[in-house]
Amino acid sequence: MAPHAGSRHSFTLGIRDAGGRLFLTEREPYRFREHADSRIHVVAQGDTLFDLAGRYFASLPRACGFWWAIADFQPDPIIDPTLELEPGRRLLIPSLRVLTDVILGEQRRRFEA
Per-residue pLDDT tens listing for the chain (113 residues): 444 455 555 555 667 889 988 876 666 777 788 899 999 999 999 999 999 999 999 999 999 999 999 999 999 989 898 899 999 999 999 999 999 999 888 665 544 44
Distance CA 23, CA 77 (A): 24
Range 7-16 burial, b when 16+ CB lie within 10 A, else e: ebeebbeeee
Cite the DSSP H helix spans in 12-93: 49-56, 67-72
